[in-house]
């Protein structure tokens, strides 16, 4: 006669197997039609939509972020070797992620998510960086190699996929950039007008011999000046953000008199107190606006939220 304990163990085992089979059937039922045609497609689909896969990728992104922060000067040779080895590991790990998702989700479903496209661009640029680092000497990197190595920093933005608040901030910034396009044209127009006016009033006139004002053409101009249109734009930008604009006004006042007391405050008030505050108002308005329609998330996004909640 069987013992009651063995019967309970048999029932628990049967229940666990039935639950596992039900989960397998549910995964197959919600999977796309292309996935059901191949066991490889089904396996990759189950992997890329599982929360543990998302948690693993998120941990890799965080670890890669800390690895990128290891850069220092002067560079230690052993540290460089370790960081390059880790970077190759992360590159191949993200390539593996993209391949698994392409096989499991398919190209059409994969490209429906903008974050997948962003990840694919980073992976392609990382592959180019890997090829260049192998073909070129790492001891004397060229400008192209240094630029591609800078692409590694974009991997930090992969956290936006699983970090809801971070993703929302990025989305609001993108919306804000679209809204301020007309405002940016207005801002550039005012900067251009004030630059031409500053060149007319102070071009090659604010010059000093050490600390003594001298006639035009006989001394040196201060670093922010209106001697040409490029330096004029720089000077107007410095006034607009309030970067020691009163000191620039004092230098111009010592050579040109009271006209500087009218020009610099007007530029500061209009550019800083009005236009830049208007920009902040547009930015805050977009951050305070809530979408009325609820956000519809696909299965991958739900698994990513589940992974982040477990983390």
Tell me the sheet residues that pair with 208: 213, 220
Is CATH 1.20.120.350 the classification given to domain 19-161?
Answer: yes
Max CA-CA distance within the chain? 116
C-alpha 101/C-alpha 166 separation (Å) is 23
Going from N- to C-terminal start, the domains of the chain cover 19-161, 179-288
Query: Which pTM value belongs to this model?
Result: 0.56
**Structure confidence by residue, pLDDT tens digits, 114-164:** 788 888 888 888 888 778 777 765 555 555 556 666 666 777 777 776 677
CA distances from 142 to 48, 129, 155 (A): 37, 12, 22
Please give the chain's pLDDT, 311 residues, in tens: 444 445 444 444 444 454 444 444 444 445 567 677 778 888 888 888 888 888 888 888 888 888 877 777 777 788 778 888 888 898 899 899 899 998 888 888 888 887 888 888 888 888 887 787 777 655 555 555 566 666 667 777 777 766 777 777 777 777 777 777 788 888 899 999 999 999 999 988 888 877 777 776 677 888 888 988 999 999 999 999 888 888 889 888 988 889 999 999 999 999 989 988 888 887 777 777 654 444 444 555 555 555 555 55
Cα–Cα–Cα angle for 237, 242, 247, nearest 5°? 100
Element (H, E) at 301: helix 299-310
């Amino acid at each position: 006669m069987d013992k009651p304990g063995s019967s309970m163990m048999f029932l628990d085992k049967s229940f666990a197997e039935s639950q596992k089979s039900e989960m397998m059937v549910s995964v197959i039922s919600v999977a796309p039609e292309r996935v059901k045609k191949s066991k490889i497609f089904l396996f990759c689909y189950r992997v890329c939509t599982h929360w543990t896969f998302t948690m693993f990728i998120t941990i890799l992104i965080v670890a890669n972020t800390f690895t990128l922060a290891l850069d220092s000067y002067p560079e230690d040779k052993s540290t460089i070797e370790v960081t390059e080895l880790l970077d190759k590991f992360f590159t191949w790990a993200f390539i593996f992620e993209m391949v698994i998702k392409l096989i499991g989700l398919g190209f059409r479903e994969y490209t429906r998510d903008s974050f997948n496209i962003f990840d694919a661009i980073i992976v392609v640029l990382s592959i180019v960086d890997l090829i260049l680092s192998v073909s070129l000497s790492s001891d004397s990197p060229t400008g192209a190699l240094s630029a591609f190595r800078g692409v590694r920093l974009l991997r930090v933005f992969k956290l936006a996929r699983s970090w809801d608040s971070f993703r929302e901030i990025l989305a609001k910034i993108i919306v804000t950039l679209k809204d301020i396009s007309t405002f940016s044209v207005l801002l550039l127009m005012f900067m251009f007008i004030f630059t031409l006016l500053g060149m007319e009033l102070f071009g090659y006139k604010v010059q000093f011999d050490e600390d003594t004002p001298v006639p035009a053409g006989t001394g040196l101009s201060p670093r922010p000046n209106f001697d040409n249109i490029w330096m004029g734009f720089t000077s107007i930008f410095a006034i607009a953000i309030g970067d020691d604009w009163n000191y620039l006004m004092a230098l111009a006042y010592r050579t040109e008199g009271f006209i500087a007391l009218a020009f610099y405050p007007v530029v500061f008030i209009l550019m800083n107190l009005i236009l830049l505050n208007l920009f902040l108002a547009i930015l805050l308005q977009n951050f305070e606006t809530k979408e009325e329609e609820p956000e519809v998330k696909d299965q991958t996004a739900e698994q990513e939220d589940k992974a982040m909640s477990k983390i």
